[in-house]
Structure 1
Amino acid sequence: MRLAYQNQDSTKVETSLLLINELYAIEDYTKALLFIDQTSELSKTLNYEKGLAETNYIKALIFNNQNDQNNAVANFESARSYFMAIKDTLGIAKVNNNLGVIEIQRGNYKKGLQNSLSAISIFEEKDLKDDLSKAYNNLAEAYYNTNKLDKALQYNKKALSVREELDDLEGMKYSLKNLGLLYALKNDYRRSIDNYERMLTLLDPQEDQDIRGEIMPSLGKSYLAIEDTDKAADYLREGLRYSRRQKDDLGILKSLNAFGELNTKNRNLKLAENQLLEALKIARRLGNDEELLYNLKLNRDLDSRRGFYEDAFNWQNQYYELKEKLDKEKLAAIPVPDNSTEEAQIETPPLIESTKTEEPEKAVITSEKKQDILLVYGLIAGLVFITALLIFSYLKGSKDSKAAKTLTKSNKELSLKNLQLEEVNQVKDKLFSIVSHDLKDSISSIKAFLDLLKDGGISKDEFNDLIPELSENANNASSLLFNLLNWSKSQMQNLQPKPELFNIQEVFQIKMSLIEKKVNDKGIILIDESRREFVYADRSMLEIVIQNLITNAVKFTGKGDVITVSNQDYNGKVLICVEDTGIGISEENQKKLFNAKKNFTTIGTENEKGTGLGLTICKDLVELNNGRIWVESTPNIGSKFFIELPKAALSE
């Protein structure tokens, strides 16, 4: 009623603004907007720019709270124009700070920083601590999202300091959590722990359970990094228990990943495998690339420690492919200035784009990262070649040595040994020819692209197109070496099985997760009909066999084809089947599949290369475990590969 008794002058506008602010404070936005429209019209009639500035500002705040960012930005910019006209630097600063928040939320970090930086000097000068706290937090978030961790730390510390002065408990919790995360990213785990632990002391046992559950995995990871495994286990256990109770998939994912790392370090490898497999499924379902990247690294480390080098290499390929994608996304963020408020003067319209060109720097960074990837591939191929040569040299020496010892025996034994040695040498020579040719092709290809890159002979777009081919070359070389290593071990009779009872379904699940991306890329349907059943065999050997069979199925199928894995009880044994609806195998070629001397290999549906060694190794490994392997196939219909293995130890 105060407004009705006042004259239509600026005093009435000021009184109306007081009422509008009261309505905004109690979140009665409908009435507030009604009075804003009336007050704005009155201000226009009186040509009262301060009233127009304030009404547009509050209207923008309301739209922002209602998640109507477009209208919020339009009204903030209108308010800023009026504040600039009356030279109200504080009003400009408040508008810029709010615009900074919106631009940062939109991912426009450069604009967000410009706006927030322009506001801070005014807030500092006028000692407006609440506004300073928000501005510091905006800057910290923008710098974090543009990977400038030192700057993010600097402004999070400033925000924490102001929030401590204001006794802002919620703000302190938020800043301490951010500091814990940032110090962990900088590998300063003790400071990370200090901030997380301090945050825990501020939490309410009843009201802050969600926050506590959220930071438990992060705190556990930091303790794990400083080798305090007992505390790491305590925090991770609490975090996992809470997340499962709350059905918080992200919390479960983080806890399982960290637990997987802990159990790998403690050599609880079976437990680590189960935890990482569950985490992998959750990460892919949630589309959480950061945790998926961490999971791929942990799976690589786990399989490397177990001696499953082919699996480890597959995990590594997936890791670097995802890492490159994430690096590209980070580089796509607009670079932001590191300087202070001189970069965004208050009197200058702060949303004007900088004319400084950032592309050259971006191109250099991208090129350097990709060059590093190529160098890694080149080193891998080179090491593969050297290792292969050493294997053949050792194999030849070993066989010759055995043959020499046999010469002292009877002439009959000598003739037999010479015949065996001749057969082995024939196979070895054939394999050496294959290895030399395939590795030479891979290394020559990688070297050619490196030379082009060094001489500036390829563009950025052309280079991007070459990455999959280079990765495939490295994969082929690695696969060749892997198969060759296992074959050479079996030929030297050093490959002794260590049978145990294990669930075959778990092996299927792990191996299918490794080829999931390739299956999706080729448009293949993968069906898992496996069931829980125990096999008595050397698990690592059988994993090699299953990996080869599934990889072959993917190789010889195309879009719309189906791959099915299954197992069943058969005459008291376990019958494993990997079936596909691919191109099939002729009866003549089926006879060559398991014979190393024939060296039979064909090109896949997408011209994938093979070595001709995989199925030979599968046969050797299955037979070493008292089993048998065979194939049933019809051209253009598909193939079924069967493995029969015992369920228990054979009686002597």
Structure 2
Amino acid sequence: MLFRFFIAVLAGLLILAEASFGQQFSRIDSLRSLLPRSDKRKQFDLLNDIGFAYRLSYPDSTIWYCTRAYEVGQELNLPKELSKPLSFIGLAKAYKGDYKSSFDFHTRAIEVAQQQNDSVQLAYGYNNFGRLFFDQGDYTRAYENLIQALQIFEVIQEPAGLAYVYRSLSNIYKSQNDFEKALDMSVKAYNLRKRVGEPRTLLSALSELGLVYSELKRVNEANRCFEQADSIAQRIDDKISLAEIRLGWSEFLVKSGNYKKADSLAHLAYTMVVKNKNLRLMPRANLLMGNVHYQLKEFSDAVPYLKQVVELKSDVHLDLKRDANFYLGKIYEQTGKKEEATRYINQYLILKESLVSVDLAREIEKLQFQLEIEKKERENEQLKAMAAQNESVIRQQRLQNIILYVVIFFVSLVVFMQWRNTKKRKESAERLMLQNAEIEAQRREIIRQNEQLAKHNRELSDLNHEKDTLMNIVAHDLKSPLNRIRGLASLIEMEGSLNSEQKKYLSLMLDSTRAGLDLITDLLDVNSLDVNREPGFAPFNLDQLIADRIGAFSHTANGKSIQIQQAGSAGEIICDFDYVTRITDNLLSNAIKFSPAQSVVTISLADEGGMVLLSVKDQGPGFSEEDKKFLYQKFKKLSARPTGGESSNGLGLAIVKILVDRLNGSIELNSQPGKGSEFTVRLPKEPA
């Protein structure tokens, strides 16, 4: 599998080389024509430029030209820039997949730049080192090297270098899903490249900035960046970049739901790809066209594009094949062609698993690279230590030879040297004894600190237990006076003879005490659920339980003119009656609480073989994507608010989730903002 992965990557690079090399060929040919009539210093620059231009298309050519450039630089004994060809060779080695050799050449480039005090090349060396580590997933080393490059570029005020570093840092932050910091870095890179004014680098910066804005869901800014990049690509007549920008822009518009504009851009990009016979972009363009037609429900138009992706012969573009199979499966499923839908969905699952294996192989390769680098670093340290030791031995031998010559004439000097050596050995022994004593003291300190940590852990456990106990005591102590207040308020209400203002305050008092009692009940329930009580399973009729709970909530629903409907049947199940009751109460209470007046709440039951389905559907405000992230967290209040002034403590759904998990069930939410929500609970009909 790993071998197949490398073959796939190599094929992808060759396709990329064919697409981009055509743009570079005329420039490379022009540079090569200048070589014979240029002096040695000019040849050094030309060889580097040619090698750099070849790095993506033919990295072996980069290695050849830059090796010649390095030899010319050594002949000229250049005071600066001698590390540049070594850096370019390191880049070429990385593009070939020889990351160990790439590491070696980047290390040599940095050492040469340090020897020459060449700040510019040293900064570029650290930047290249950072990108190498980033590509191999070692983000810590990548960040350290990029920060070193950034500090040097800031001192020497090199805008082009700063832009490269900021873009590299943006990639690191994106890999960590820290898109705000990634945006900051991308904006800085864009401003620098805008100041330099080179259109191709500015185009690249705008595309990168648009992608970051798209991750942040900032649609207007993303569209503006893609539009500016599109304009620059048209102005410089860069057809390949223009096609890629429009593909990326259209893909973003599909994700953001703007299918009409996505359709227009996708057709423009597809036409350019076909016209230029761009084999690298063709699979991506076909998938995009199929996806756009699928989203627009134009299934017959989508199928030919998607099948072109599915029928690709090579192992490249497995991710595109996976997605194409998925959309074909969905299309045939929606058009009623079950057998074809099943075939494509199965192929989608196979490719999905294959990509997981490819990703695993890639991670293994990255780990092997990191191990190789760590091993090489240890070897370098050992070599340095051995070199220092050998130098010390050589110096000692020279000293001994001098002493031997001098002994012939000065016997007294021999005695003095012996005494001095004895003294040194004694001092070394004393230092070793002191070091051993320090190590022993540190060991005893570690033992003492471990004992303190164990003691602190026990104390924390005791404090947690005291907290739970205190929670129960406080909750129970608050419950009694609140019940008395509620009872007294009810008696006053029954007395009658109250004016409208008094009735208003009495209603507020009843609502406040009811909310307080509900909060205490939820707190006690959450606290008791944390104890992990085992469910008590017993048979009962789920249809009757739901009918009873609807009756219990009918008064509350009538107060808001809400109609509660029961649909379907599940019959008898063996489960924890109290747990199911509490799940139903919490879901039904939330549905009434967040539904507008004059609406309908529907409770549906269904028997699915070994499982029963219970769903509660309302016509409330629904849940946003941000709400769904915190749906079942304790005390987390979401964006929606009760429609009748009711209280919400953020515990209801958390309790439902805990109880459903205890019963080995599952809960799902189907909701869109402004279109209501439906919670679906699946529970086993009987315990396993």
TM-score (structure 2 length as normaliser): 0.39
TM-score (structure 1 length as normaliser): 0.41
